[in-house]
Amino acid sequence: MFHVKEDLCAGCGLCVESCPRWAISVESGQARINQARCNGCGTCLNVCPQGAIVELVPTSKDELKTTISSLKHRANELAERIESLRRTGKVKV
């Protein structure tokens, strides 16, 4: 499944021209993907100069929990390193 990031889409229409299934249209200056027509070929990903079209990949709750836990751990490690550098005077914040 593909999604258009509206903040990146310039409405140029290159994705519309490239879609073999006519699943994309430009409405009010924004590309829109008709998921019922889209066959997931990804041609639109390769032609979008803005990188506004992204693939949505389903993720399980367990995968999300693991990713969040890992990110929290990394954030805590970085905060500790910054605090250590601040104490030694190498970083002033």
* pLDDT tens string 26-78: 999 999 999 999 999 999 999 999 999 999 988 899 988 999 999 999 999 99
Structure pTM?
0.63
CA distance 28 to 11: 8
CA distance 29 to 6: 10
Residues 55, 45 contacting (CB under 8 angstroms): yes
52 CB-contact burial (10 Å; exposed 0-12 / middle 13-18 / buried 19+): buried
CA distance 49 to 84: 43
Displacement of CA 25 from its chain's centroid (Å): 20
